[in-house]
Chains A and B, each alone.
Chain A
Amino acid sequence: MGKHHLGEFEEIVMLTVALLGKKAYGFGIIEEIESRMNRSVSIGAMQTVLKRLEDKGYLESEFGEATTSRGGRRRRYYHLTNTGVSVLEETQEQRMGLWNDVQKLGFSTQ
């Protein structure tokens, strides 16, 4: 799986999708990220990342119910695929490996 690199924003999106579980749809994810990380995310950026992750096979999606708050448009709900989960795990492993080695050298993050 060595060649699958997740970008920082991709990783955040995937983690948020995992966090939201069955309620992960475009604007929901944006709201979650904006409230947690205090950064603004445009719909364009979100859609691009979601579609790219779907193309790579880390995410899957299906239409949900239509609501009036969306002018009758249906939501598209996303969830992680098995590949997606393993890529996330691998990414976390790599990061942790780096953190551990850095801390061994006595580096203080404070």
Chain B
Amino acid sequence: MSKSWDLVRNNLWTPYSIMKENRSLWQFRILRLFCKPDYLEEIEGDLLERFKKRPSSWRLTLEVVKLFRQRIIRDIGGTFRMNRYGMFRNQMRTSVRFIKREKAFTLMNLTGLSIGIACCFFIFLWLSDELKFNSHLTSGDRVCNLLNSEIQTNGEIHTYRYSSFPLKVVLDEKYPIIESSTALSRGNWMAFQVGEDMVEWDGIDATPEVFDLFEINFLKGGFKEMFDNANALAISESVAEIYFGKDWTEQNVVGKFMVNDQEETFKLVGVYENQPRRSTVKFDFVVPFTNLLKKRPFFKSWQTTSSQLYVKLKSGVSLSEANLTLKEAINDHRAGEFKTSREVFLQSYEDMYLYNRYENGTITGGRVDYVRLLSVTAVLVLILASINFMNLTTARATKRAKETGVRKVLGASKGNIRIQFQMESIMITALSACLAIILVILLFSQFEQLTNKEFDISWYSWKSILFIVIFILIQGFLAGIYPSFFLSSFKSISLLKSGNVLPQERNGFRRALVVFQFVITLVMIIGALTVYQQVSYIQHKNIGLNRSNLIRTFSYDMDPVREYMDYKKYLLNKPGIENVTMVDQLLIDVKNATSGVIWEGKDQSEKLEFRYMQANPDFIPTMEIEIKEGRNFDWELQSDTNNYIINETALELMGLHDPIGKKIGFSNHQGNIVGVMKDFHNASLHRAIEPLIIRNRMKFSWMILARSKPGMQKEAILSLEEAFRTYNNPDRAFWYRFVDDIFNAKYQNELLVKELSFYFTIVSIAISLLGLISLVAYNVERKTKEVGIRKILGASVLNIFRLLSLDYIQLLIVATLIAFPIGYFVMSDWLEGFAYRISLDWRLFAFSGFCILIPAFVIVGLLTRKVSHANPVESLRDE
């Protein structure tokens, strides 16, 4: 046996040994993969002859690559594969024919799927943008924001992004795990003269390490000088472009002096490149922190917590390690002054954007919740569309029965048939994806408006093309699994026998899918309604003060104590103004907080935190806040400048029974409580009302709150501007905002979710109903004859209606029963995130049920009407 084999081998392949030696050439192996076998001997020979003299591997490789030509490449894989190819072509052809023939079916499928996919693409765009935030730093995992947790004696923990400046010094000196740190102010707004106008920019006071930490490169100059010179200034590229003109790069800008609106002179030491759009820490210019310390020396105190601290850890130091080391950084190093229990922890800069909510000292989510919510929604919408596809395809199995039967008889295995239907599914998905892309392109600008973002995507990059191709393959495959198994599972004999013998009616799985689909839709409707109600609740909630027609503006150069009365008189004589007051911060977002409050009868060991703000006696009447006990501040009483008004929550926290006249004080200013006002929301509605203390010391106040007479906003703004011009340096820029807008802006996330959930719910209702229509329509079409016979035998219209639609109505009711509890639990959980929320009542559920059941009934009714009213002769005659 082996001898004869050798003989054959030697005769057919003469110098076998030489052949063997060349077999190992990998270039030859590649050549053999694609080259026509008939040409192989000649070409290999030529190659060997050519490179025998100059054997150089890459030349040979190049030569092989050059052989990859149409005439030399073999046809798809020899005789065996040729058959596959033919089969494949045949399958594709029948699929295309089926798609063309069943136009209604294809249309339904394509609409549902393409809408679903378009939704998915939109969400994906949004998500990828969100996830890219703060990811531009090369050592981003080491740059961290430092947060403070204040532990109160009543067990509550308050968390702040703001720290005291002295902590930075401690961090730099005492903690070797920190490579560098920087302190940033809350913000610094300065205006500079550009031509005729004053232009205001949104900058920051910061220690110069900020450039190193946030990896900001200088295009001109540098930040070295900022360490020594408190009046140094660095500006961004875009500010330079506006200030110096487009050709600023050609000018010698470094070293020039810039004078701001407050007549301060700064020396420009550098121009840095613009920061990326997706960055939490962004500023138009940087002034050294020393400048702020000079102007506001109290920033050096441990008691002032108004600086943002960022640190860069040494490489190799993990976040948890650093957190352990730094935990007591404040408590250990704050000497002498009052003691509160403050702990320090770090959050990586990369996480800052998405995780921005804290409860009891731990980070519990924030924006990331919406990211999750929307991803789940996207997946759900896609599932809905896929279920439509599966149901339609399996319901139409009879239409493909003959085809499948013949294939099976001719020797197709189940696997072959599965592959055919999988291919079909991928084909339809690909078509829908194309439609979806067109939809996305058409609605792109609307989506940008809705989400208030600019998406910088490139449609033609290989990444997006690869993404779409992979998406189509996976989605097509997943949607095709069930139909392909279902359709390939029948016995060929039952497929080929005439008449419907397929076990269609009792298809439990399909019924389950319909139920599942409607459960998802209903839960989404319930969700959307809840979000809608909650958000409008927030928007219209009485927050304890009147915020309509309220305008906020600033007064920079006016003395808030001596000049205010003149200003007020001047303003109230102008048209449109109802009332005015002056405060130091916005009352719906009070940020100042202190634990240093002492009051009569306070237990010395208690450490409780209060918010505080400054306001003049006009504050309470202008805001229309109710006084519960005591009185408002009085302009006439000089002593009132040391007195306080507290809110109900503060009163409760202090535990005072008869508060009026009790002694109270903080930061060395003793006074009495003269009044207790009703609570108003002084922070986000996500949180409970904070205890608030108002004092009447107007130093450092610069915010003006004015209420316009109803319908006279325009006049009011003009009047405010005139007053502003009179009481401020003439070259200042006047600007204002409505408090209502500021209030709404705080709930931007919720507003976005409100709008998005609305659209998604519409889409999911549409998709589910589309699925229902096609299933019922198909059922009706299939049972036309049965209906005819029943009618002849005396069935009533109602009977027929029941026959055709009872099944689906039952399914809908089951879906409702499942969806309501799920919706209830999911949405209660979501509402937990709001301290002030609506309660889920039965009307919401009833309404969401109607949203789906009424259209479903109408559709089923319309579809069955034609058949049940038709003359039975019509349906029975055609044979």
Question: A and B: real partners?
Answer: yes
Decide if A43 touches B46 in the complex (CB within 8 Å): yes
User: Closest approach, in angstroms, between the C-beta of A13 and any C-beta of chain B?
Assistant: 14
- Chain B residues, CB < 8 A from A26: 42-43, 45-46
Assess whether B44 is in contact with A73, with CB atoms less than 8 Å apart: yes
Segment from A2-10, A46-54, A81-89, A100-108 that makes contact with B: A46-54
**Nearest CB of B to A35, in Å:** 13
Considering only CB atoms, which chain A residue lies closest to B44 in the complex? A73
CB pair A75 B42 closer than 8 Å? yes
CB distance from B513 to the nearest CB of A (A): 54
Cβ-defined contact, A44 with B68, below 8 A: yes
Task: Render B56-92 as a binary contact track against A, CB cut-off 8 A, 1 for contact.
Answer: 0000000100111101100000000000000000000
Query: B71: which A residues are within 8 A, CB to CB?
Result: 47-48, 51-52
Q: How far is the CA of A62 from the CA of B48 in the complex (A)?
A: 19
Q: Which residues of chain B are near A70, meaning CB under 8 Å?
A: 44-46, 48-49
8 Å CB contact of A43 from B19, B21, B63: B63
Interface size range of chain A in the complex = 20 to 34
Chain B residues numbered 10-24 whose CB sits less than 8 Å from any CB in chain A? 13-16, 18-19, 21-22
Q: Within the assembled complex, what's the spacing in Å between the Cα atoms of A71 and B46?
A: 10
A72 at the interface (CB under 8 A from B): yes
Contact between B52 and A43, CB atoms less than 8 A apart: no
Known: A72-B15, A72-B19. A48 touches B69 (CB 8 A): yes
Most A CB within 10 A of own CB, among B46, B66, B67: B46
Docked-complex contact B41 and A44, CB < 8 angstroms? no
Interface centre among B14, B19, B49, B50 (most CB of A within 10 A): B49
Q: Closest residue of chain B to A49, judged by CB? A: B71
Interface centre among A46, A48, A71, A75, by most B CB within 10 Å? A71
User: Would you list which residues of chain B between 638 and 682 have a CB under 8 Å from chain A?
Assistant: none
Q: Which of B13, B42, B48: most chain A CB closer than 10 A?
A: B42
Is B39 touching A43 in the complex (CB atoms < 8 A)? no
Given the complex of chains A and B, what is the CA–CA distance between A107 and B272 in angstroms?
67
Closest CB of chain A to B14's CB: distance in Å? 5
Q: Is the beta-carbon distance between A72 and B13 smaller than 8 angstroms?
A: yes
Verify if B47 is at the interface (C-beta below 8 Å from A): yes
Q: How far is the CA of A43 from the CA of B67 in the complex (A)?
A: 7
Q: In chain B between 686 and 707, which residues have their CB closer than 8 angstroms to a CB of chain A?
A: none
Name the contact of A73 in the complex, choosing from B41, B52, B68, B72 (C-beta under 8 A): B41
Tell me, yes or no, whether A68 is within 8 Å of chain B by CB.
yes
**Of all chain B residues, which has the CB nearest A76?**
B42
User: Does A45 sit within 8 A of B, measured CB to CB?
Assistant: yes
Contact A51 B72 (CB under 8 A): yes
* Minimal Cβ-Cβ distance residue in A for B53: A69
Q: Given the known A-B contacts A51-B72, A71-B18, are A44 and B67 also in contact in the complex, defined by CB atoms under 8 Å?
A: yes
A68: chain B residues within 8 A (beta carbon): 15, 18
Does A110 touch B at the CB level, under 8 Å? Answer: no
Contact of B66 with A44 in the complex, beta carbons under 8 Å: yes
A62, chain B: closest CB distance, angstroms: 11
Nearest CB on B from A74, distance (A): 6
Given A44-B66, A47-B43, A73-B42, decide whether A27 and B49 contact each other with a Cβ distance below 8 A.
yes
A30 in the interface, Cβ–Cβ < 8 Å?
Answer: yes
The answer to whether residues A69 and B69 also contact, given A26-B43, A43-B63 and a CB cut-off of 8 A, is no
The reply on A98 being an interface residue by CB < 8 A is no
The answer to whether A47 touches B52 (Cβ under 8 A) is no
Residue in A51, A69, A74 whose beta carbon sits within 8 Å of that of B41 in the complex: A74
Q: Which residues of A contact B49 (CB under 8 A)?
A: 27, 69-70
Residue A19 is within 8 A (CB to CB) of chain B in the complex: no
Instruction: Give complex CA distance A38, B66 in Å.
Output: 19
Give A68 to B17 CA distance when docked, in angstroms.
Answer: 11
Whether A109 is near chain B, meaning CB under 8 Å from some CB there, is no
Could you give, for residues 3-36 of chain A, a 1 whenever the CB lies within 8 Å of some chain B CB and a 0 otherwise? 0000000000000000000000111001000000
**Bound CA span A27–B42, Å:** 9
Contact check, A47 vs B72: say whether CB atoms are below 8 A apart: yes
Give min CB distance, B123 to chain A, whole Å: 48
Given contacts A51-B71, A75-B42, whether A69 and B52 have CB atoms under 8 Å apart is yes
User: In the complex, A110 Cα to B66 Cα: how many Å?
Assistant: 37
Least CB distance from A32 to B in Å reads 13
**B-side contacts of A94, CB under 8 Å:** none
Q: State whether A42 and B45 are in contact (beta carbons under 8 Å apart), knowing that A71-B18, A72-B15 are contacts in the complex.
A: no
CB proximity of A38 to chain B, nearest CB, Å? 17
Query: Is A27 within 8 A of B19, CB to CB?
Result: no
> A27: which of B46, B67, B69 is its contact (CB, 8 Å)?
B46
Question: What is the minimal beta-carbon distance from A67 to any residue of chain B, in angstroms?
Answer: 8
The smallest beta-carbon distance between B11 and chain A, in angstroms, is: 12
- Is A66 an interface position by the 8 A CB rule? yes
A51 to B22, CA, bound (A): 25
Q: When the two chains form their complex, are residues B44 and A71 in contact, meaning their CB atoms are under 8 A apart?
A: yes
Kindly name the residue among A45, A46, A52, A72 whose own CB sees the greatest number of chain B CB atoms within 10 A.
A72
B45 touches A71 (CB 8 A): yes
Q: Given A43-B67, A44-B66, do A72 and B50 touch, yes or no (CB 8 Å)?
A: no
- Do B41 and A48 touch (CB < 8 A)? no
- The verdict on A42 contacting B48 (CB below 8 Å), with A68-B18, A71-B22 known, is no
Q: Which of chain A's residues have a CB closer than 8 A to the CB of B50?
A: 27, 30, 43
A contact residues around B42 at 8 Å (CB): 25-26, 47, 73-76
Cβ proximity bits B19-34 to A, threshold 8 Å, 1 near / 0 not? 1011000000000000
Instruction: With both chains docked as a complex, state the minimum distance between the C-beta of B621 and any C-beta of chain A, in angstroms.
Output: 92
Give the Cβ gap from A105 to chain B, nearest Cβ, in Å: 41
Q: Which residue, A42, A45, A68, A73, has most C-beta atoms of chain B within 10 A?
A: A73
Q: How far is the CA of A71 from the CA of B66 in the complex (A)?
A: 21
Structural contact, A72 and B67, CB atoms closer than 8 A? no
A47 to B47, CA, bound (A): 11
User: Which residue of the partner chain, among A27, A66, A76, contacts B14 with CB atoms under 8 Å?
Assistant: A66
In the bound complex, what is the Cα–Cα distance between A76 and B47 (angstroms)?
Answer: 13
Contacts of B39 in A (CB 8 A): 47, 51
Using Cβ atoms and an 8 Å threshold, which residues of chain B touch A25?
Answer: 42, 46
Instruction: Specify which chain A residues have a CB less than 8 angstroms from the CB of B43 in the assembled complex.
Output: 26, 43, 47
Closest residue on chain A to residue B19 by CB atoms: A72
Contacts of B67 in A (CB 8 A): 42-44, 47
Q: Which residues of A contact B48 (CB under 8 A)?
A: 69-71, 73
Complex CA–CA separation, A76 to B40 (angstroms): 11
Q: A69 to chain B: which residues have CB within 8 Å?
A: 48-49, 52
Cβ A43 vs Cβ B66 within 8 A: yes
A66→B68 CA distance, assembly (Å): 25
What B residues does A43 contact at CB under 8 A? 43, 46-47, 50, 63, 66-67
- 4 closest Cβ contacts across the A-B interface? A73-B45, A72-B15, A70-B45, A44-B66
Given contacts A48-B71, A76-B42, 18 further A-B contacts (CB under 8 A): A43-B43, A43-B46, A43-B47, A43-B50, A44-B63, A44-B66, A44-B68, A44-B69, A44-B72, A47-B69, A48-B69, A51-B71, A66-B14, A69-B49, A71-B48, A73-B41, A73-B44, A75-B45
Interface residues of A (CB under 8 A from B): 25-27, 30, 42-48, 51-52, 66, 68-76
Q: Can you list 20 A-B contacts with CB-CB less than 8 angstroms, sorted by A residue number?
A: A25-B46, A26-B46, A27-B50, A42-B67, A43-B47, A44-B69, A47-B39, A47-B72, A51-B39, A51-B71, A69-B48, A70-B49, A71-B18, A71-B19, A71-B22, A71-B45, A71-B48, A72-B18, A73-B45, A75-B45
